[in-house]
């Protein structure tokens, strides 16, 4: 693959798309962003510049009027699947991205549709695996590695980025129809009128789920009610739990340390045996609250009969805490009450983390709920801490 070093500057739309720069290359050759397409004289895998290798999701290159465009695979390999599991657990989540730019799938031509997506690789993978039988272009926006829905809310999946990316990729030379399909979950960040005015391209809002793309296109780019409906089924809820647990790891370790220190306070000022024995009981209450708030509450979300997430977490936390106390049988009422309040508070607080990942709430509703319940949670936490220390005397 013969790559001209001046290409990234002359063709910015191709500077970060299809090959990845290996460490063996001299620093002066480095392409910003980690992945670069370059300008291969003969598209394909046969010719490759030493020090460069194709990204695993790129098969070869498509000849176009603006030069070669990476053709991506529609099947995920074992590395993609393993990375998906790790990202679902919160590992390397903030750096799991593909280079923004233009890609092709199948044998696209000037009549093929242009599907817009984010450069969060999990989102990119969800889309490409649904396109096995389709010939299309994929326009990847620079959302800083954030998924479409969240990026639309944060302003990175935006009108300005879409207009800029259309210009950078010279999309008007790639297709004749002047039309891009934007996922419905990105609609809050994209103004169709402004995009049309500034780029000449018409925005068509596609379905919520990538799995409906083929049906959407067969229906002449028309979405039915099911395609417009945002769901939050059990599998969609429970898949969020691993990343929540991973995020909690560091705060939980700090909390455990504080718990053991507080558990050692007593008549003799501090007891190491008390810190151990009572600390284990406090740890059990913490663990109960975490499991209740981060796993049980999202799993049972539609079945808990209140609207506020903080109350949902409180209800699930209360039942879990009562079950815990039934097994542990604390020595005094004061001890039991402290453990109960502590566990319920943790559960209530963690349940609120799911307000931003569901179709049940609005930003204003989330803000209102947090202002209402966080002071109560703080007061309850202080009360449970006081009762816990008092119960040792």
pLDDT confidence of 300, banded at 50, 70, 90?
Answer: very high
pLDDT surpassing 50 at residue 9: no
In a domain, 18, yes or no: no
Please tell me the predicted confidence (pLDDT) of residue 310.
94
Please tell me the predicted confidence (pLDDT) of residue 323.
96
Q: Label residue 106 left, alpha or beta by phi (over 0 means left) and psi (-120 to 50 means alpha).
A: left
pLDDT surpassing 60 at residue 15: no
Burial code (b: 16+ CB inside 10 Å, e: under 16) for 186-220 equals: bbebbbbeebeebbebebbbbbbbbebbeebbeee
Q: pLDDT tens, 328-341?
A: 888 889 999 999 99
The mean per-residue pLDDT over the stretch 172-176 comes to 96
pLDDT surpassing 70 at residue 116: yes
**Which of 230, 248, 265 lies at the terminal end of a domain, its last residue?**
230
The mean per-residue pLDDT over the stretch 37-63 comes to 59
**Distance from C-alpha of 200 to C-alpha of 170, rounded to nearest angstrom:** 12
In a domain, 13, yes or no: no
Who has greater pLDDT, 91 or 125? 125
How many independent structural domains does the chain possess? 2
One domain for residues 320 and 219: no
Who has greater pLDDT, 39 or 77? 77
Share of the chain above pLDDT 90, in %: 68
One domain for residues 199 and 278: no
pLDDT confidence of 51, banded at 50, 70, 90?
Answer: low
- Indicate which CATH number applies to the domain containing 183: 3.40.50.11600
Would you tell me how many other CB atoms lie within 10 Å of the CB of residue 268?
8
- Domain span at residue 192 reads 59-230
Non-local (6+) Cβ contacts of 242 within 8 A are 88, 89, 90
One domain for residues 206 and 244: no
Please tell me the predicted confidence (pLDDT) of residue 362.
66
Please tell me the predicted confidence (pLDDT) of residue 363.
67
One domain for residues 341 and 253: yes
pLDDT surpassing 50 at residue 104: yes
pLDDT surpassing 50 at residue 212: yes
β-strand partners of 180:
203
One domain for residues 175 and 240: no
One domain for residues 212 and 337: no
pLDDT surpassing 90 at residue 23: no
Non-local (6+) Cβ contacts of 174 within 8 A are 64, 65, 66, 69, 102, 110, 114, 137
Who has greater pLDDT, 286 or 269? 286
Closest among 185, 137, 182, 135 to 162, alpha carbons compared: 182
**Distance from C-alpha of 51 to C-alpha of 92, rounded to nearest angstrom:** 25
**Which of 197, 230, 263 lies at the terminal end of a domain, its last residue?**
230
**Which of 204, 230, 256 lies at the terminal end of a domain, its last residue?**
230
In a domain, 63, yes or no: yes
One domain for residues 220 and 279: no
**Distance from C-alpha of 244 to C-alpha of 299, rounded to nearest angstrom:** 13
Who has greater pLDDT, 299 or 360? 299
How far is the CA of 91 from the CAs of 87, 278, 373, in angstroms?
Answer: 5, 33, 30
The mean per-residue pLDDT over the stretch 116-121 comes to 96
One domain for residues 225 and 271: no
One domain for residues 73 and 215: yes
Who has greater pLDDT, 345 or 7? 345
pLDDT surpassing 70 at residue 110: yes
Least confident range from 3-17, 40-54, 237-251, 257-271: namely: 3-17
Longest dimension (CA), the chain: 83
CB 115 within 8 A of CB 206: yes
pLDDT surpassing 70 at residue 361: no
One domain for residues 152 and 194: yes
The three-class DSSP label of residue 102 is: strand
One domain for residues 241 and 208: no
pLDDT surpassing 70 at residue 278: yes
CB 51 within 8 A of CB 1: no
Please tell me the predicted confidence (pLDDT) of residue 34.
33
Average pLDDT, the chain: 85
């Amino acid at each position: 693959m013969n790559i001209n070093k001046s290409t990234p500057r002359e063709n910015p739309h191709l500077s970060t798309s299809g090959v990845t720069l290996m460490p063996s290359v001299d620093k002066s050759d480095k392409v910003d962003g980690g992945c670069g397409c370059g300008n291969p004289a003969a598209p394909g895998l046969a010719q490759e510049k030493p020090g460069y290798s194709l990204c695993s999701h790129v098969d070869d290159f498509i000849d176009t009027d603006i030069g070669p465009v990476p053709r991506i695979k529609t099947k995920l390999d074992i590395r993609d699947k393993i990375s998906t599991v790790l990202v679902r657990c919160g590992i390397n989540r903030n750096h799991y991205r593909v280079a923004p730019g233009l890609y092709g799938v199948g044998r696209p031509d000037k009549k093929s549709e242009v599907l817009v997506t984010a450069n969060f690789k999990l989102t990119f993978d969800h889309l490409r695996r649904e396109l096995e039988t389709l010939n299309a272009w994929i326009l990847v926006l620079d959302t800083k590695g954030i998924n479409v829905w969240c990026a639309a809310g944060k302003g990175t999946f935006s009108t300005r980025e879409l207009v800029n990316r259309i210009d950078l990729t010279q999309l008007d030379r790639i297709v004749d129809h002047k039309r891009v399909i934007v996922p419905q979950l990105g609609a809050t960040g994209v103004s169709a009128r402004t995009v049309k005015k500034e780029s000449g391209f018409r925005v068509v809002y596609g379905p919520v789920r990538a799995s409906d793309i083929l049906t959407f296109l067969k229906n002449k780019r028309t979405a039915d009610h099911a395609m417009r409906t945002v769901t939050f089924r059990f599998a969609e809820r429970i898949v969020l739990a691993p990343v929540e647990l991973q995020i909690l790891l560091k705060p939980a370790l700090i909390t455990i340390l504080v718990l053991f220190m507080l558990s050692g306070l007593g008549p003799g000022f501090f007891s190491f045996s008390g810190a151990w024995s009572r600390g284990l009981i406090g740890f059990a209450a913490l663990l109960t609250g975490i499991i209740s708030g981060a796993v049980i509450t999202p799993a049972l979300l539609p079945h808990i009969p209140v609207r506020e997430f903080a109350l949902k977490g409180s209800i699930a936390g209360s039942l879990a805490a009562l079950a815990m106390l039934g097994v542990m049988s604390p020595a005094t009422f004061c001890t039991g009450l402290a453990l109960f309040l502590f566990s319920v508070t943790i559960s209530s607080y963690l349940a609120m983390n799911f307000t931003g990942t569901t179709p049940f709430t609005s930003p204003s509703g989330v803000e209102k709920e947090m202002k209402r319940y966080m002071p109560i949670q703080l007061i309850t936490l202080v009360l449970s801490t006081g009762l816990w220390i008092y119960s040792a005397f």
